[in-house]
Amino acid sequence: MNEIKDDSAALKNEFTNLDLETPEKPYLDSNELIINMGPQHPATHGVLRVILKLDGEKVLGTECVIGYLHRGVEKIAENRTYTMFNPYVDRMDYVAAVSNGLGYCLAIEKLLNVEAPARANYIRVILTELNRIASHQLWLGTHALDIGAMTPLFYTFRDREEILKIFEKYCGARLTTHAFRIGGCQYETYAGFEKEVKNFVQFVRPKIDEYEELLTTNRIWLERTKNVGVISGADAIALGVTGPVLRASGVKWDLRKAQPYSRYQNFEFEIPTGENGDTYDRYLVRMAEMRQSLRIIEQAVNAIPEGPIMAKVPKVIKPAVGEIYQSIEAPKGELGYFVVSDGSTQPYRVRVRPPSFVNLQALDVMVRGMLVADVVAVIGTLDIVLGEVDR
């Protein structure tokens, strides 16, 4: 009468990930449980649904159900001109909209075989790196909140606000910025842009130390993150994982160094890597990345050249028939655009390689044998944005 309605049977049908070890003698286990985590769950960063197969609190396997935020972005591209589609990409990874826009613009520029002028590239680098810091700050706040530390969230949001203010002053939007255009930037920097960015760099440096002070040597934080969600470098490569998650596993791979775009070769910076590939290393890598981003911003803003900000691009963009793939190092990993042109004003096909989506594949490998609480930590450390996973 008041037993918990056991929806395990119903869920089992959805649970296709059944390469789980089954004991030779199947015994009835009162602890074995299949439960739904999400889509309405505070720790799934939006509408991710994870079906967990549990033994008590131990995770035997997971299955991600995605698509709750699917808006058909790739399909929309086929019915829009190249210019019209530009704002749509901002809605994928909405916490790193500038990076998305940069990737798209670079892809179409490659298709058109034009290159943005130097000043435009510097502006792009500054804004993209600012956006990387904002994205990492949002990740840090929510990740810490998932693990139970509520205070870092407010600190990071306080500081992220300064970045959003710069965005707002530059292009009028805070989140989905649509900052860049195909061929360069539409807007010249506003008066005092350089000074504000420099001030921001000075302002945020001690703040990053402040975040670290709260977490890096915190005993509970160490216990919650060390040796949790470990993934080896080889596994990470095999699963196509990119970005900080890959680098934390010890693979030194950063597209800004490997295939420089937007004149990243002009800047000096390091690729922080981890050793163990656990949640703590990913945390350290991202914290180090924020500092490296500040370095890049400083160099860029000091060396920003004068000149035009828009290359010569035809009013109606009609690339020649062909296909290209252009990828950039977004805050979450490799963000790639595969664009096929049939010679018309609209792309024949746009395929996005979203880093969150690919990284999410590693979830199952990372949480097997861990506890439910670790699933939360690992989802947080993967830094997924469901808008990008589902598109």
Partner 1 sequence: MLNSLMSYLGSNVTPGEANNQLWALIYVLIIFAGVSVAVIAMNWLERKALAHFQVRLGPMRVGPHGLLQPIADAVKLLLKEDIIPSESDKFVFWIAPLIGLLAAFTVYTVVPFGPSQAVSDMNIGILFMLGVSSLAVLGIVMAGWASNSHYPLIGALRSSAQMVSYEVAMGMAVVSAILMTSLHGAGIYGASNLSDGTGTLSMIGIVQAQQEQQVWFLFKFFPLGLVAFVIFAIAMVAETNRAPFDLPEAESELTAGFHTEYSGLRWSLFMLAEYAAMIAVSSIAVTLWLGGWMRPFPHWLSGSAWDFIFSLFPGLTFLGLGAIAVRGTLRMPKHEYFRVQTIGLGAFALVLAGIGLLLLAIAIGAHSSGREAIARAADAMNNIYWFVTKIAVFMYLFIWYRATWPRYRFDQLMKVGWKVMLPISLGVLILTAIVGVIA
Partner 2 sequence: MAEISTLHYLVVAAALFVLGVIGVLTRRNVVIVLMSIELILNAVNLNLVAFSRMWGGLHGQIFSIFIVVDAAAEAAVGLGILIAFFRNKETINVDEIDLLKW
Partner 3 sequence: MNPAMTPVATPFFFYFLSGLAILGGLLVITRRNAVHSALALIVTLLAVAGLYLMLYAPFVAGVQIIVYAGGIMVLFLFVIMLVNLERTIKERQFNRIWPVGLAAGCALLALFLAVYAKGKSLFPEQARGLAEGNNTQQIGEMLYGNYMFAFEIASLLLLVAILGAVIMAKKRI
**Which residues are near partner 2 by CB under 8 A?**
27-30
Q: Which of 13, 16, 22, 30 binds partner 3 (CB under 8 A)?
A: 30
22 contributes a contact to partner 3 by CB under 8 A:
no
Among partner 2, partner 3, partner 1, none, what binds residue 195 when CB lies within 5 to 8 Å by partner kind?
none
Which of 68, 94, 155, 348 contacts partner 1 by CB under 8 A? 155
- When CB distances are held under 5 to 8 angstroms depending on the partner's kind, the choice from partner 3, partner 2, partner 1, none that residue 148 binds is partner 1
Residue among 230, 234, 241, 255 nearest 358 (CA): 241
Look at residues 324, 327, 332, 387 and name the one whose alpha carbon lies nearest to residue 353: 327
221 binds partner 1 (CB under 8 A): yes
Of the residues 3, 19, 21, 24, which one makes contact with partner 3 according to CB under 8 A: 3
In 3D space, the residue among 69, 58, 85, 97 whose CA is nearest the CA of residue 386 turns out to be 69
Residue 304 has what DSSP assignment?
A: P
Q: Among 7, 29, 275, 342, which residue interacts with partner 3 (rule: CB under 8 A)?
A: 29
Joined together, the tokens standing for residue 350 give 């746009």
**Binder of residue 114, out of partner 3, partner 1, partner 2, none (CB less than 5 to 8 A by kind):** none
Using CB under 8 A as the binding rule, whether residue 2 contacts partner 3 is answered as: yes
Q: Which two tokens stand for residue 185?
A: 């930037």
CB of 378 to partner 1, least distance (A): 12
Identity of the residue numbered 299 = Q
CB 160 within 8 A of CB 128: no
Distance CA 60, CA 274 (A): 27
**Residue 203 binds which one of partner 2, partner 3, partner 1, none, with CB within 5 to 8 A depending on kind?**
none
Nearer to partner 2, 27 or 312 (CB): 27
Q: Answer yes or no whether residue 383 interacts with partner 1 by CB under 8 A.
A: no
Strands 58-65 and 49-55, sheet pairing:
antiparallel
Residues 300-319 that bind partner 3 (CB under 8 A): none
Residue 353 corresponds to which tokens in the numbers above? 């390689």
Closest CA to 48 of 387, 386, 391, 388: 386
Q: Using CB under 8 A, list all residues that contact partner 3.
A: 1-4, 6, 29-31
